[in-house]
A and B are shown apart, each in its own frame.
Chain A
Amino acid sequence: QVQLQESGPGLVKPSGTLSLTCAVSGGSISSNNWWSWVRQPPGKGLEWIGEINHSGSTNYNPSLKSRVTISVDKSKNQFSLKLSSVTAADTAVYYCARYLGGQQQAFDYWGQGTLVTVSS
């Protein structure tokens, strides 16, 4: 069974860069899937941030594209998120998830999520 675990600082200063890593276990990040980041502000809905595949191809939410970088480290079986120039509006629980392409086009495995607060 695939498991995903987010890690990174829980507090980031305004104008700084949010950095998170998602470790994948029970499966290879080099499989034919996409690996995604989704966030959820406290008490609110879900927002897709972007995705990456094992070869490093990426797709980003147009509304966040200028500030987002997603990368993959196949040797460590993990992928990462960087979000720059953060403000209080970026405070959210950040989830990593596996995205099934092909005939499904849906998220099947999710991490437990990690709360990142943007505050001075």
Chain B
Amino acid sequence: DIVMTQTPLSSPVTLGQPASISCRSSQSLVHSDGNTYLSWLQQRPGQPPRLLIYKISNRFSGVPDRFSGSGAGTDFTLKISRVEAEDVGVYYCMQATQFVTFGGGTKVEIK
């Protein structure tokens, strides 16, 4: 199994300030087809998860451009350029290179 490890567990952020979440996989996420299937999801309180980013850095339809993804191999990052109140929730990284596994989640909250 590919294990996904996220840090930090919790990220208190001031409104308007940036936030950054790291995700590390236990082995390379480069698929045999050459793509890296790493995505990011947001889960607001009481809601199902919502897709933000797929294939490391591609924003899904309707996702604000303050969200960006980067990384390669085993190390990935989600950045929120200026945190807004609606960004409060838990963020998960997810790999789909070998079956599907999720990171443990990072809680973003307002200071």
- A residues with a Cβ closer than 8 A to B are 36, 38, 45-48, 59, 61-63, 95, 97, 100, 103-108, 110-113
Contacts and interface: CB of A to CB of B under 8 A. Distances in A.
A107 B99 contact: no
A61 B98 CA distance: 10
Interface in B16-57: 35, 37, 39, 41, 48-51, 54-55
B99 A59 contact: yes
Contacts of A47: 102
A106 B54 contact: yes
Nearest to A48: B100
Which bucket holds chain B's interface residue count? 20 to 34
B109 to A, nearest CB: 15
B32 to A, nearest CB: 13
Contact of B54 (A59, A61, A95, A104): A104
B99 A95 contact: no
B92 interface: yes
Given A45-B104, A46-B92, A59-B99, A106 B51 contact: yes
A105 B103 contact: no
Contacts of A61: 99-100
